[in-house]
């Protein structure tokens, strides 16, 4: 049973560029959440997708956007990259019907470096 | 707003030592509480959870008790092993259904 898979694992961009990160949820899961983990910090919630719609959003600017596809996979897009966007981006999947919400399954992350 | 504070690391222990990692939280109501672990080169994994006051979560020899009177959820293990070396994150379920994490505590266990 494949867990949460993310791609790419590492990437380097320059300021002002745009980036797309991809996530495939654990088999059977229908909800995908994205988190940003800066170096030495805990993950911070970006947004959550369910039924192809953004359901919840954390305190992140509109430069951060996402998408969920009918097969439940998801993309995170970041426009106009800033140096401060350098971080590990984590995707987590869950089953909306499962409670408590905190039982998330995380991927290994995509490490983004902005130069 | 809701927040989690956990003890700063790194924590270095010898094998078979007793481990405590302190975690306190600020929240409205009584959210579910969690400990997640991040082993080197791996994704975050749920270690244990507690959904209401006085609940004790336990897994792999680790325990944590949900204390509403002290708003705490300290992680303990009686005898750590080298394989327990990892970063440990305390978290609570936020009002949006997301997780709010502490900054993490790095544990290194020496043989």
Closest CB to A102 among B43, B91, B103 = B91
A19-24/A74-78 β-pairing: antiparallel
Give pLDDT tens digits for B3-50: 999 988 899 999 999 999 999 999 988 899 999 999 988 889 999 999
Give pLDDT tens digits for B81-99: 999 999 999 999 988 778 9
The residues near B106 (Cβ < 8 Å, ≥ 6 apart) are B9, B10, B11, B86, B87, B88
- Residues of chain A contacting B42 with CB distance shorter than 8 Å: 108
Q: Diameter of chain A by CA atoms? A: 41
User: Which one of A89, A95, A100, A110 makes the best mutation probe of the B interface by having the most chain B beta carbons within 10 Å?
Assistant: A100
Q: Average model confidence (pLDDT) for chain A?
A: 92
- Residues of chain A contacting B51 with CB distance shorter than 8 Å: 100
CA distances for A8 relative to A29, A78, A102, B6, B65, angstroms: 21, 14, 25, 31, 38
Contact: A100, B103; criterion CB under 8 Å: no
Task: Centre a 10 Å sphere on the Cβ of residue A6 and count the other Cβ atoms it contains.
Answer: 21
Chain B residue nearest residue A42, CA to CA: B103
CA A94 – CA A109 distance, rounded (Å): 16
What local confidence, expressed as pLDDT, does residue B97 receive?
A: 78
Contact in structure between A72 and A25 (CB atoms under 8 Å): yes
What local confidence, expressed as pLDDT, does residue A102 receive?
A: 57
What local confidence, expressed as pLDDT, does residue A1 receive?
A: 63
Q: Does A77 touch chain B (CB under 8 A)?
A: no
pLDDT band of residue A73 (cuts 50, 70, 90) is very high
Tokens, residue A32: 């995908």
Question: Considering only residues 21 to 50 of chain A, which have any Cβ-Cβ distance to chain B shorter than 8 Å?
Answer: 33, 35, 40-45, 48
CA distances for A79 relative to A30, A63, A65, A114, A115, angstroms: 26, 5, 8, 12, 14
Q: Which residue has the tokens 């229908």?
A: A30
What local confidence, expressed as pLDDT, does residue A99 receive?
A: 54
The residues near A2 (Cβ < 8 Å, ≥ 6 apart) are A24, A26, A27
A87-94/A31-37 β-pairing: antiparallel
């Amino acid at each position: 049973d494949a867990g949460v898979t993310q791609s790419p694992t590492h990437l380097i961009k320059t300021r002002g560029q745009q980036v797309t990160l991809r996530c495939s949820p654990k088999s059977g899961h229908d909800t995908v959440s994205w988190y940003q983990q800066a170096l030495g910090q805990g993950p911070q919630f970006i947004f959550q997708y369910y039924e192809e719609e953004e359901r919840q959003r954390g305190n992140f600017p509109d430069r951060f956007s996402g998408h969920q596809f009918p097969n439940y996979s998801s993309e995170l897009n970041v426009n106009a990259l800033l140096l401060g966007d350098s971080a590990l981006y984590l995707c987590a999947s869950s089953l909306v019907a499962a409670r408590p919400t905190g039982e998330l399954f995380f991927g290994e992350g995509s490490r983004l470096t902005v130069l | 707003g809701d927040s989690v504070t956990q003890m700063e690391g790194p924590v270095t222990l010898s094998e078979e030592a007793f481990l405590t990692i302190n975690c306190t939280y600020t929240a409205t109501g009584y959210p579910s509480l969690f400990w997640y672990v991040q082993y080197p080169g791996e994704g975050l994994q749920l270690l244990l959870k507690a959904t209401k006051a006085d609940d004790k979560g336990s897994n792999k020899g680790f325990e944590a008790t949900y204390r509403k009177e002290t708003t705490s959820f300290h992680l303990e293990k009686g005898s750590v092993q080298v394989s327990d070396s990892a970063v440990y994150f305390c978290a609570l379920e936020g009002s949006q259904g997301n997780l709010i994490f502490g900054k993490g505590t790095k544990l290194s266990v020496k043989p």
